[in-house]
Amino acid sequence: MTRSGSAIIIGAGHNGLVCATYLAKAGYAVQILEAREVVGGGASTREFAEGFRVSGLAHVLHPLNPKIVKELGLGAKGAKPGTAIDTISLDRDGRHLTLSTDSVSGAGLSDADAQAYSAFKREFRRYAKALEPMTMNKPPRLKDMDNTDKLTLAKLGWKLRFGLGKISMREFLRVGGSNIYDVLNEFFEDQRLKGAIAADAVIGHHMGPRTPTSVLTYLQRLRGELYGAEILPSGGMGEVANILAGVAERAGVKIRTEAPVQRIVVTDHKATGVQLQSGESIEADIVISNADAKATFLHLVGTEYLDAMFAHRVHKTRTEGTVAKLHFALKDLPRIEGLSEAQLGQRLLVAPDMRYVEHAFNHAKYGRYSDAPVLEITIPSLADTSLAPAGQHVMSVSASFAPYSLKEGWDKSTGDFADKVVALIADYAPGFAAQIIAREILTPVDIEREYKVTGGHWHHGEMSIGQSFMMRPVHGAAQYDTPIEGLFLCGAAAHPGGGITGIPGHNAAKRILAMKAGR
């Protein structure tokens, strides 16, 4: 194969790995520069106490897009890197609800709600599917469209009108701008059920169930379900990254860890390489950033190479994370009344009703952590005993809301918040506190530092409408190329945003290759 040119990718997160593999397969000499000592970024496994390992940031995922699995040759393990799990919404009285892809069950749930759930999921997955043409392509520009843009819009229109049909299309256009709170009230009676779905719609976002457009973030989540049920990865999320790194290296990608980039070198308005913090300079034909938009433009490039209003837009993007990650090393398995061991291995939610979730969010608006947080809990050592010493367990908890800009500062509050989470878990799992051997908490401030994500935001920036599609991360850089010639974005800051999907990486590679081909 002829060499198409050389490319540097900044950041070996999963999107960087996906993008790298595509480019390498197309003939690029690709080098990935990773600041940390391991690959994966937000999708990596960390040992937080001796003998206890856990997925560092993201701890559950949906199967990767089948197109990416196939094209990259990820194999069976790549298609399904772990155990499929359900979600169990915990109830203080032991009347837990089990939510599967298409069904829900639990004590005290009415038949009407159970049926409504199936209908609701089917209908909303159809909406998510209708958006697919937008997902797997660069977001179309709304003026000066190229043929790809026109095709994307035509496909979208077709899917909306004929894929969904008249009634569903109208409903989709209605609920798309709505909030999950009102929509769930239309469909369901059961508070537990509504609480669980509402939590899924807002976790990771600066949103409560009543926030308009929280239906859209829920649809983003449902997109993953199109490819299969949620998965708890074997060996932690780092294994997913390892699989991707494996195919990347087989495709000829060079991956350098512990090689933090100091700046992107811009010569005559064109990115020509990078300079590492070590002082080493590396040249390349193109530079692709898997970092978030603020890190990329304001720090790695520098505002002096950018138009003022563009830089201002980047500066004003909302990138403050709202979730803290807690890891517990446990000397034995927690007990939750009414849950079997198998059930403990599922994804456990503490989101008893929508009001609870909304109240948890209220605090975040004023720079405070939730008095009663929403929790997403997994005990991955049940499915994968290698993660903890024999007979012992690890628990991984995402706790919302824990805003990046805490009024009193995280320095003083980290321990208090962790204690609050422990106490809350203990409400459901008596004796939990006494089981803890070691614990770790990563607030958004820690996540920012550890994972080099501005604001410690899961998605490299809010996924509000104003920061989605052709406005993600900002207009002017929403089609993976940027105002700096030869500089591209391939991470969650780009469309369609965060989650372990590989789609931004895929789309970025597709865009780079299309531009190279003059399309």
Interface residue list for another protein (CB under 8 A): 141-144, 161, 166-167, 169-171, 173-179, 182, 186, 210-213, 269, 298, 302-312, 315-316, 318, 355, 358, 362, 365-366, 464-466, 470-471, 475-476, 483
Least distance between another protein and beta carbon 189 (Å): 14
Question: What is the rounded distance in angstroms from the CA atom of residue 143 to the CA atom of residue 154?
Answer: 15
Q: Please state the closest distance from residue 207 (CB atom) to another protein, in A.
A: 9
> Which residues, including other chains, have CB under 8 Å from residue 131's CB and lie 6 or more apart?
156, 159, 219, 223
Bridge partners for 59 per DSSP: none
Alpha helices in 47-164 (DSSP H): 66-72, 75-79, 111-130, 132-135, 147-158
Give least dist CB 483 to another protein, A.
6
CB of residue 210 vs another protein: minimum separation in angstroms?
6
Q: Select 3 or 166, whichever has its Cβ closest to another protein.
A: 166
Task: Please name the amino acid found at residue 114.
Answer: A
Nearer Cβ to another protein, position 227 or 356? Answer: 356
Helix (H, G, I), strand (E, B) or coil at 98: strand
Query: Which of 27, 476 has the CB closer to another protein?
Result: 476
**193 in Cβ contact with 89 (< 8 Å):** yes
**Closer of 305 and 413 to another protein (Cβ):** 305
- Smallest gap from residue 270 Cβ to another protein (A): 11
Query: Can you list the pairs that 430-438 forms with residues at least 24 positions away whose Cβ atoms lie under 8 Å?
Result: 430/335, 431/334, 431/335, 432/334, 435/328, 435/330, 435/331, 435/332, 435/334, 436/328, 436/329, 436/330, 436/331, 437/49, 437/52, 437/329, 437/330, 437/331, 437/392, 438/48, 438/49, 438/52, 438/328, 438/329
Residue 323 CB partners (closer than 8 Å, separation 6+)? 203, 204, 398, 399, 400, 401, 402, 444, 458
User: Phi/psi class of residue 137: alpha, beta or left (left: φ > 0; alpha: ψ in -120 to 50)?
Assistant: beta
Residue type, 21: T
Nearer to another protein, 328 or 401 (CB): 401
Residue closer to another protein by CB (options 107, 309) is: 309
Work out the angle between the directed axes of helices 444-451 and 410-428 (0-180°, nearest 10).
110
Q: How far is the CB of 342 from another protein (least distance, A)?
A: 38
Report the residue number, 328 or 356, with the smaller CB distance to another protein. Answer: 356
Furthest-apart CA pair in the chain: how many Å? 67
Cβ 304 to another protein shortest distance, Å:
5
The residue among 279 and 366 lying less far from another protein, judged by its C-beta, is 366
- The minimum distance between CB 476 and another protein, in angstroms, equals 7
Question: Based on CB atoms, which residue is closest to another protein, 176 or 389?
Answer: 176
Residue matched to tokens 């899924």: 200
What is the distance between the alpha carbons of residues 138 and 471, in angstroms, rounded to a whole number?
A: 11
- What minimum distance in Å lies between the beta carbon of 211 and another protein? 6
Evaluate whether 274 touches 487 at the Cβ level (below 8 Å): no
